[in-house]
A and B are shown apart, each in its own frame.
Chain A
Amino acid sequence: MKLHEYQAKQVFREAGIPTPASELAESVEAAVAAAELVGYPVAVKAQVQVGGRGKAGGIELADDEDELREAADSILGMDLKGYRVERVLVEEAVDFADELYVGVTMDRGEGKPVAMVSTRGGVNIEEVAAEDPEAIAREHVDPAFGMHPFQGRKAVYDAGVDPAVARDVSSVLSTLYDLWEDKDGADAEINPLMVTADDEVIAADAVFNVDEDALFRHPDLAEMGEEGEFAESELEQKADEYGFDYVRLDGNVGIIGNGAGLVMTTLDLVDHYGGSPANFLDVGGGAKADRIANALDMVFSDENVDAVVFNIFGGITRGDEVANGINQALGEFDEIPKPVVVRLAGTNAEEGMEILDTSLVTVEETLESAVQRAVEYAGEVTQ
């Protein structure tokens, strides 16, 4: 779960990491009032969870009220990489001499946390990592002990940070690590960590992504997550309500299946046979009639979808129950909105295939043939 910048800064500030003065605003008038409190010049920053906001026009500087009105008016309501901007952060513009990067994440290959420091802040750090990995100092942390203070210092010295601010930067890194550990962070980043002409360090941006599986022990963060989630698409909201793992893509073959690997494989096969997948939708294990009806509702609601492939390999999930669920859900329609191809395998699959009403669905024996048939149907509609 990603926190918005203003939420992450609140969390960082409470932990003792210096951040610029800022106020959140949902209208131009509120932005004007916020700027009065913060003091000009200010940065006006779109609060949406996408990278590269600056380049996309989501961050502007304002020296006075006229400029601020213009900036707030252009950013509020804008579409930023598919997300509508509902709120801006009006923030004291920091006059900086240098920009650093500090971050903490889980190195999944090593199974250990890693703390990182670089003097190449203010740019896309993933690009720096790809082009010049040596430019980022990394310190792996033993999760049984947490990060020792010397490790923070070592990362800072290894990165070649100016000695005048080394102590403060390592202190920020230690605080960031402890926060990441205490609050079950997935990624915690400050990019840039600005260094002023007076050698003060200040977190000009803040990223804090929380491990969703650990939210049960952080109710405060779970609440923040709910506050931030109004920017989702309607289909994604629906998937959340239904409790499905769902990702929307841009093709026209709707896909329903069970188990992440098999659903991904079904997407890949659609592509392999010349079609284009519209979505990833995993109904999970043991799906019963209501979940099947909900899954069909999801793909039928997607206007891009022209045909649907329903692929279930039953372990815990039973083929006969799935078949009954499909008959029942489709029986509700006077006319089936989009052709549905079904393939059942595994537990009670044969009974399931018998049960399926072939006036409602097309039944196929194998995964490959089911996908080919759905691609064919979707193609016919498009032509």
Chain B
Amino acid sequence: MSVLVDEDTRVVVQGITGGEGEFHAEQMIEYGTNVVAGAVPGKGGQEVAGVPVYDTVAGAVAAEDADASVVFVPPAFAGDACFEALAVDELDVVVAITEGIPTQDMSRVYRRLQETDAYLIGPNCPGLITPDEAKLGILPGNIFSSGRVGLVSRSGTLTYQVVDNLTKRGLGQSTAIGIGGDPIIGTSFVEALALFEQDSKTDAVVMCGEIGGEDEEEAAEYIDEYMNTPVVGFIAGRTAPPGKRMGHAGAIVSGSGTGTAESKIEALRDAGAFVGDTPEEVADRVEELL
């Protein structure tokens, strides 16, 4: 068992004929992911990265029996691409890699998501990976190794940094999920933590948060009330000034001081989670736990 994706996951790539879509479809296949189809309007009948392309997501799923999708569609059309994926009941997991989707588009997608049983990961995320089984997204597969640490993070390269520290100490990962740096995302920390809590293959969870919003505080409440699996936290942005967007659209401390690193660190510590001051300290703590 693992979280959300495994070696049996059958993936359709939306936007597979674009530069990013084709490159990463190839990378996913090379990693061993079961990429079974692409979906691009007007490109049905072509073959890209060795898989057939269909005009619609529904067509691709019907023909190739896919159960997950990865969206590499430009921001102006990515909201629609998410709606298209969510309209297909068979897709259990939809991963939106695209950065820069208008927030109001995502608000509508999020509203639609509540009516489905699917998990939407992202947008503006690196995707997710169950090492040695499947990778849906743009994560560099070579730094991951299979093991018993679950990882959930709002940031891509910070995830890689933490994973690298873990892997170098022989601490492999069950599944790593990049939930994305936008203000509105499909799957929150709480939902990801719930998945890891139920997973028999995960013995500890690393959670990398950052400034902005209150998702980490909500996660802390969840940890306090429901989790037996130990959680090790890291929060980026202690030195971020209020009112400035630190790269991610969601990474901003508001003028009134909500969304600060201090508030998140304190909430996690109050919930009994260890919070590292450096990525090294995070790996140290995980090593102690396992």
Contact = CB atoms under 8 A, between A and B. Distances in A.
B60 to A, nearest CB: 25
B107 A268 contact: no
Give chain A's interface secondary structure class. mixed
Interface stretch (A21-29, A38-46, A122-130): A122-130
Interface in B147-168: 153-161, 164
A143 B246 contact: no
B103 interface: yes
A351 interface: no
A367 B162 CA distance: 11
B156 A261 contact: yes
Interface stretch (A67-75, A168-176, A211-219): A211-219
B104 A264 contact: no
B136 interface: no
Contact of A265 (B156, B218, B236): B236
B247 A264 contact: yes
A280 B111 CA distance: 34
A17 B66 CA distance: 51
Contact of A214 (B104, B111, B157): B104
A113 B157 CA distance: 31
Given A112-B111, A260-B181, A260-B248, A269 B278 contact: yes
A148 to B, nearest CB: 15
Interface string A277-296: 10010100000000000000
B271 interface: no
Interface residues of B, number: 64
B205 to A, nearest CB: 17
Interface string B82-121: 0000000000000000001111111110111000000000
Contact of A268 (B102, B140, B237): B237
Given A126-B255, A130-B256, A367-B161, A261 B153 contact: yes
Interface residues of A, number: 53
14 contacts: A106-B103, A109-B214, A144-B111, A211-B103, A213-B101, A213-B103, A213-B249, A258-B157, A259-B155, A261-B210, A261-B236, A261-B247, A280-B247, A313-B157
Contacts of B111: 111-112, 142-144
A108 B110 contact: no
Contacts of B159: 261
B247 A184 contact: no
Interface string B275-290: 0011110000000000
A277 B239 contact: yes
Given A247-B244, A262-B157, A315-B160, A217 B76 contact: yes
A56 interface: no
Given A112-B111, A211-B103, A259-B156, A247 B238 contact: no
Contacts of A51: 255
A13 interface: no
A368 interface: yes
A261 B181 contact: yes
Given A127-B256, A213-B102, A259 B246 contact: no
Contact of A216 (B76, B142, B257): B76
Contacts, number: 171
B280 A368 contact: yes
A143 B184 CA distance: 13
Contacts of B261: 268
B103 A264 contact: no
Given A217-B76, A260-B247, A108 B181 contact: no
Contacts of B241: 247, 249
A111 B110 CA distance: 7
A3 B13 CA distance: 38
B213 interface: yes
Contacts of A260: 155, 181, 210, 246-248, 251
Contacts of B76: 216-217
Contacts of B273: none
Given A263-B247, A315-B138, A316-B138, 8 more contacts: A108-B184, A109-B215, A259-B158, A262-B158, A265-B158, A268-B239, A280-B240, A345-B161
Contacts of B250: 108
A358 B103 CA distance: 45
A111 B250 CA distance: 12
B139 interface: yes
